[in-house]
Chain A
Amino acid sequence: MDTGIPQTHENPIKEIDVRTDTRDVLANAQKYLKRRKLDDVFICDIDAHHMEIEAWKDIVKYISSPVVRDHAERFAQFTGAPPFGINGDLGLLYQDVGGRIPHQTSQREEVPAGPDHRHLTLMQRAREAMGIHYQVLFPTPMLLLGMHPQPEMEVMLSEAYNQWLIDTVLSKDERLKTMLFIPFNTPKECERFVEKFSGQPGVIGFMVTSIRNKPVHHDNYMRLYRMLEERGQVLGFHAGYYWNDDSMRQINRFGAMHALSFTWCNVVHMTNWVWNGLGERFPKLHPMWIESGVAWVPWLMQRLDHQYMMRSSEAPLLKRPPGDYMREMYYTCQPLETDYPKAMEITFEMIKAETQLLYASDWPHWDFDTPSVIWDLPFLTEQGKRNILGLNAARAFNLEVPEKYRTRK
């Protein structure tokens, strides 16, 4: 009998740690969805991650070179061996703030034994908790491969990872997708990757890891861009941080460095892209800027437009100010800088967010965003919220929207 008196009980999970089930960690996100009755909102998460190096022993089996593969497999036999061939600052992983954010530290929760890889289960649990239909998966330490001293290792390791991902993860779950890693330091290999992997299960686009010192306007990339444009494929630039960059080495604390480095890489690539008229050369190829948040975009629009108006002779391919091209690109929202609501509203207006912005969680990383960051914005129309949370992604990637989301309640 319902007495109308709320029932009281104790939640047995007093403290969340690295072994807590993802669904319990994200229980408040699930409650939010139910409270707001968002079960008819189509949500796509355009940037989620897994810790691919946990599967590195399996991934290196896909390395094409028999010598490098042999070395990698021998290396992996040593207990505690780091992932063979991975560069980067694996000892500078301060993201979890000294262990304060457990899901960033590690995901050691129980997963029932079965034929599928445990990462599939982890992603499914996160999707369920946040009401996400499609989720785009990216690796984590591999985001630094663009700084690898051996360009051929970027090619070999990313090709091995891509095939492992398709075989082990993407082909087992039609709601998991990826924008596949391309080894941007070797343009010809990027072209081969596009030929080889287009149309494979779960591949909905291609991704450049933005931490690298390669000018995106170099003539060597024009064939690649043409290929992507002709195939209607999105080209993502996934940001990262690189503390060993000379400018970043001046900064002494992780959060401050992270705030700059995660935007700076995309600031440079965006500037080269726009100023060199790639928007005119490839008008149907719309880049997508991933994991830099959005606050950097109005700043850069203003800087570039201001300079362009005085120095248009240096950018003769442009027929409009740089900001016009930037408004035609796609952006993912995370980490959404919500601390200045008026600035956020203007930012959304400047980037035409209602058609160009795509929700991204970045789960399970420490600065992840739940769908509430979009749904709670007071200045958006409901249609705008629905667009950003999923319908813009459906349009950009030609994703099927299931029937249950097409009929509004």
Chain B
Amino acid sequence: MVDIYVGKSHEFEDRSRKLIVHGDNEIGVFFVNGAFVAFENHCVHQGGPICQGQIRKRVIEPLAADKTSLGLAYDEKTLHLVCPWHGYEFAMDTGRHPGKSSARLKNYQVNVRGEDVFVVV
């Protein structure tokens, strides 16, 4: 296991990212909702550049008590990372697909020591 230097923590605004290329590996390091997460830039579907996709709010469809649909809405608390190749979506905190949890991005541990951010590979 090796710590790869990513940058200074103050360089990360909310919902920002850095793409770190380390040999053949490419890792996206994100700062979202006050926490760092890191994923391999490789979608589990067809290998698309998932970490270069958009961060979007999860879409939900609330139901009324009688089970009728209240239409589409955004879940303001849950963010998804969307693969720009085909639109596969994964929860930013877990890396899991919302409808098939076994479809999961490879994640990496992120260490913050003082101001310095490292990803562990």
Contact = CB atoms under 8 A, between A and B. Distances in A.
A28 B47 CA distance: 7
A278 B19 CA distance: 56
Nearest to A26: B85
Interface string B1-42: 000110000000000111111111110000000000000011
Contacts of A31: 24
B87 A97 contact: yes
A29 B87 contact: no
Interface string A97-112: 1011111000000000
A16 B81 CA distance: 12
Contacts of B82: 97, 100-101
B47 A14 contact: no
Given A8-B22, A11-B21, A25-B85, 17 more contacts: A7-B22, A8-B21, A13-B52, A14-B19, A14-B52, A15-B53, A25-B84, A28-B47, A28-B49, A29-B47, A32-B47, A100-B53, A100-B84, A100-B89, A101-B86, A103-B84, A366-B87
A51 interface: no
Contact of A8 (B4, B17, B49, B56): B4
Interface residues of B, number: 29
Listed residue (B16, B42, B48, B84) with the most chain A CB atoms within 10 angstroms of its CB: B84
A276 interface: no
B78 interface: no
Nearest to A101: B87
B46 interface: yes
Given A6-B22, A11-B26, A14-B18, A372 B46 contact: yes
Contacts, number: 81
29 contacts: A8-B22, A9-B20, A11-B20, A11-B21, A11-B26, A11-B41, A13-B19, A13-B52, A14-B16, A14-B17, A14-B52, A15-B52, A16-B49, A16-B52, A28-B49, A28-B85, A29-B47, A31-B24, A100-B56, A100-B87, A101-B85, A101-B86, A102-B84, A103-B84, A366-B86, A366-B87, A368-B85, A368-B86, A373-B46
Nearest to A13: B52
Interface string B59-85: 000000000000000000000001011
B5 to A, nearest CB: 7
A232 B49 CA distance: 42
A32 B53 CA distance: 19
